[in-house]
Amino acid sequence: MKVSVIGAGYVGLVTASCLAELGNKVVCCDNDLKKIKQLKKGISPIYEPGLEELIRKNLKKKNLKFTSSIKEATKESEIIFIAVGTPSLEDGRADLTGIENVARQIAKNMPGYRLIIEKSTVPVNTGEWVKKTILAHIKGKIKFDVASNPEFLREGQAINDFMHPDRIVLGVDSKKAKELLLNLYKPLKTEILITDIKSAELIKHASNSFLATKISFINAVSYLCEKTGADIKEVAKGMGLDKRIGASFLEAGIGYGGSCFPKDVDAFINIAKELGYNFELLQVVKEINQQQKIFFLNKIKNALWIIKDKTIGVLGLAFKPNTDDIRNAPSLEIIRTLKKEGAKIKVYDPQAMPKAKAVLTDEIQFCKSPYQVAEGSDCLLLITEWQEFKELDFLRIKKLMKQPLIIDGRNLYEPKIMKKLGFKYIGIGRSANG
């Protein structure tokens, strides 16, 4: 099938590459000329395992092409995905300027029937506005449909999530739209929920907000573990064995970050507010998430007493492993606070350092390895649970450090093992703390 994807960000680029891999002819469009120039050469603007290979392979097969012209993307394909960004405005609402602009441009350039699909995360009712916008700018009596097909992929495992999703949600209001989408997704063997557009839009915000709630819930319980000597890993395991609860997204840590959960929880609170509902539950989810970083900073202060002039080593900058994304990464706030209190900061991340260099000041030392970070450090902070950090030579680390202290924000290590190795080890809600 001929498909266009407008927006070559995380979701757009993965959607375009995967649909091309499934044998469709895909045009991927973005107004960032520099990005398009790189993509035409097969260079991915983001680090996502397997993505660059997929782009190169499908460019070569001529299943995938890149353009900066929405006109071209609209003319070429009957199916058009809108996957442009919907960033947060200052008050937490989603900024839909990009969506409106793309809808207008599609309307002006439609040569015949087009199915326009919202792939970006958008507030409920956006589909209605997209329809109105297209009707206002369309030339002549051309038929079209609008649909909602939210994406649930996670960064770091985006291709696998796209190709093997738990479910596909199709919000449609015409037989033609339903058939086109069912045909497009035929190769993916999974449950398909066909529903109305508004429900599909709500499913996305409700899902992300629920997952964020699960994380804040387990983080709150981790505090109780610390106060009582219970172990959060055991508690989460015991809860997760109940199929109604499920084991995933019960990892306590320094809180959720990234470009989705913080933004989507804010947007959902605002959507509810506009509809007359005070979503206090999500307000508290947000507060717990923020508190988690403060608790972590307190652990550092409690362990080191005076922060000024201490050397603090940071392992991991990305908001999660297998990505170079540092948007809303807890690392940034933690580093900035420690820096303000006079600490000397050394950092290492396998992928995120180039992006971090652009936002963190020069006074932070970017290191070549975790061992260089450990050298002369009074304390090591584990911020992102990269596999590389799981396999460190801890005896070497211990020798390099000024004092053998590890504060683990992701519960990557086992307290007993770390103690045996001679470290003072502090995790999140672990029984061997303190």
Nearer to ligand UGA, 203 or 260 (CB): 260
Residues 6+ apart with CB under 8 A from 351: 47, 318, 322, 323, 324
Nearer to ligand UGA, 253 or 404 (CB): 253
- Provide the strand spans (E) within 236-360: 311-315, 344-348
Look up residue 380 and give its DSSP letter: E
Near ligand UGA in 328-357, by CB under 6 A: none
| Whether residue 379 lies in the annotated active site | no
Contact with ligand UGA (CB under 6 A) among 225, 250, 345, 428: 250
Q: Does 208 bind ligand UGA (CB under 6 A)?
A: yes
Binding mask 158-197 for ligand UGA (x = CB under 6 A): ----------------------------------------
Binding mask 137-156 for ligand UGA (x = CB under 6 A): --------------xxxxx-
Q: Does 9 bind ligand UGA (CB under 6 A)?
A: no
Token pair for 55: 């782009």
Q: How far apart are CA 418 and CA 434, in angstroms?
A: 12
Q: How far apart are CA 165 and CA 235, in angstroms?
A: 28
Strand 424-426 and strand 405-408: the pairing is parallel
Nearer to ligand UGA, 261 or 348 (CB): 261
Residue 200, CB-side half-sphere exposure with 13 Å CA sphere: 28
Kindly report the number of other CB atoms within 10 A of residue 96's CB atom. Answer: 19
Nearer to ligand UGA, 192 or 421 (CB): 192
C-alpha closest to that of 253 among 68, 69, 407: 407
Shortest separation between residue 410's beta carbon and ligand UGA, angstroms: 7
Q: Does 257 bind ligand UGA (CB under 6 A)?
A: yes
Q: Does 129 bind ligand UGA (CB under 6 A)?
A: no
Shortest separation between residue 332's beta carbon and ligand UGA, angstroms: 12
Shortest separation between residue 54's beta carbon and ligand UGA, angstroms: 18
Nearer to ligand UGA, 183 or 190 (CB): 190
Token pair for 62: 């001529």
Q: Identify the active-site residue in 29, 225, 260, 367.
A: 260
Q: Does 249 bind ligand UGA (CB under 6 A)?
A: yes
User: Segment near ligand UGA (CB under 6 A), from 14-22, 132-140, 249-257, 358-366?
Assistant: 249-257
Token pair for 12: 């757009």
Nearer to ligand UGA, 10 or 144 (CB): 10
Kindly report the number of other CB atoms within 10 A of residue 196's CB atom. Answer: 13
Shortest separation between residue 9's beta carbon and ligand UGA, angstroms: 10
Contact 79, 180 (CB under 8 A): yes
Shortest separation between residue 251's beta carbon and ligand UGA, angstroms: 3
Residues 6+ apart with CB under 8 A from 84: 6, 7, 9, 12, 98, 99, 102, 120
Q: How far apart are CA 17 and CA 19, in angstroms?
A: 6
Near ligand UGA in 313-332, by CB under 6 A: 319-320
DSSP three-state, residue 277: coil
Q: Does 253 bind ligand UGA (CB under 6 A)?
A: yes
Q: Does 258 bind ligand UGA (CB under 6 A)?
A: yes
Q: How far apart are CA 295 and CA 277, in angstroms?
A: 31
Q: Does 260 bind ligand UGA (CB under 6 A)?
A: yes
Near ligand UGA in 42-81, by CB under 6 A: none
Residues 6+ apart with CB under 8 A from 30: 6, 7, 8, 9, 12, 36, 39, 66, 68
Shortest separation between residue 215's beta carbon and ligand UGA, angstroms: 4
Instruction: Report residue 122: phi and psi, to 5°.
Output: -130, 150
Shortest separation between residue 177's beta carbon and ligand UGA, angstroms: 22
Size of interface with ligand UGA, in residues (CB under 6 A): 20
Shortest separation between residue 329's beta carbon and ligand UGA, angstroms: 8
C-alpha closest to that of 196 among 173, 219, 175: 173
Contact with ligand UGA (CB under 6 A) among 122, 170, 180, 211: 211
Q: Does 215 bind ligand UGA (CB under 6 A)?
A: yes
Contact with ligand UGA (CB under 6 A) among 261, 268, 423, 425: 261
Number of H helices, E strands in the chain: 18, 14
Residues 6+ apart with CB under 8 A from 381: 300, 312, 313, 314, 315, 334, 407, 409
Active site residues: 260
**Which residues of the chain form contacts with ligand UGA (CB under 6 A)?**
121, 151-155, 208, 211, 215, 249-251, 253, 256-258, 260-261, 319-320
